[in-house]
Structure 1
Amino acid sequence: MYEFIKGTVEFICPEYIVVENNGLGYQISTPNPFIYSGKMKQHVTVYIYHYVREDIVALYGFETREEKGLFTKLLSVSGIGPKGALAILASGEVGQVVQAIEQEDESFLVKFPGVGKKTARQMILDLKGKLQNIVPDFFPSLFNVEEVAAAAAGSGAFEEAVLALKALGYSDKEIKKISPDLRKENLSTDQYIKNALKRLLK
């Protein structure tokens, strides 16, 4: 139904962004909302997946058509819903995800929130050999964007990052385990999330 929305970024929180277009504010869930921190009040294009079920109607947004395409493929796998698919995309290691599927590396796939051995095996069965047209180059990391000024650096940025990680499905125990190392650095929210996901996927 929707291919993309063009508008200005008006609001960012751990679960979603709000993009204003012609007086309407669209609430759009994205893998990592804080990649838009440097684009507040700026004009952006967000590629949209319109998700409709009996109990939910939601918009999911991505920076590229390729990301949207992979999200759609992930939703086709039994056991993976929108939240799980977003968590996989938010890792910034999409190339590794595709490679893991192609090489049947279940041990890597089960590192994502909500992905157990059964779901990992289903991902391989359903998607192996079917991603070449969507991600021909193991498409670029979500975090290959311009550096964001650390306007909210410090504890505020760290707390926002923690909320975003929880929104992706990571547990308090998992987050606490990596928090001491993360707090040693003074980063923007987006950078905290990027570094945290790298540690969580080790």
Structure 2
Amino acid sequence: MYIGGDATGKEYVARTIGDAMPAPAKLSLDAILDEAIELLRTEGLDAVTMRQLAERLGVEAPSLYRHTGPKTRLISAMTLRLFRRQLDEVGESDSWRNWLDSFGRKLWSTQAAIPDCARLVLSTDFTDPELKVMTQWAASALCNHGIEPDRALAMTLSVQAFVLGLSGLADGPNAAQLRQTLSFGSIFDTTLGVLIDGWATRIAQDPAASC
């Protein structure tokens, strides 16, 4: 399988925020990230501060900081956790087309459930290892269907870029006006299908890029 090194999703997220100092006994990485993601869902990205999160967890902010490191590391760990969760929920599929379709729909449904999710992803300053493992996580599913790694990466990134861009319009400052004449759901369904058909055409024209 083409996957990120020897780390599972949970193990990799744990490594990204470091463990140079022991965490307070009442805290755990799972609890911190779950609460941070819930705060993101209910109050938006701007509300995700170390102080707010510490209050919700019933701890002092310095204790939380010692556990997570700087906020930039918390944000990247949240993004990694959400992305890994989405991939796990997509699971396996009987073809690359069905997997890519399910992948796009899972990303889109997450944007609907967590409106600031696109902002979270686009504002995350990933380290090179984090970016590499995220792309490998997604591309590995297509490689399992015989798609060559570089093409698999391009295919998954094209779907991610499409969803992030459409989500930015659907939840942006002009969303209310746009929704009066547009159905973002219909645009998503149509464009995802066109995108997948385009990749199918490219693969048919250049089968050598599939393994």
TM-score, length-scaled by structure 1: 0.27
Q: Which has the higher helix share?
A: 2
- Relative contact order, CA 8 A, sep 6+: which one is greater? 2
TM-score, length-scaled by structure 2: 0.26
Structure number with greater Rg is 2
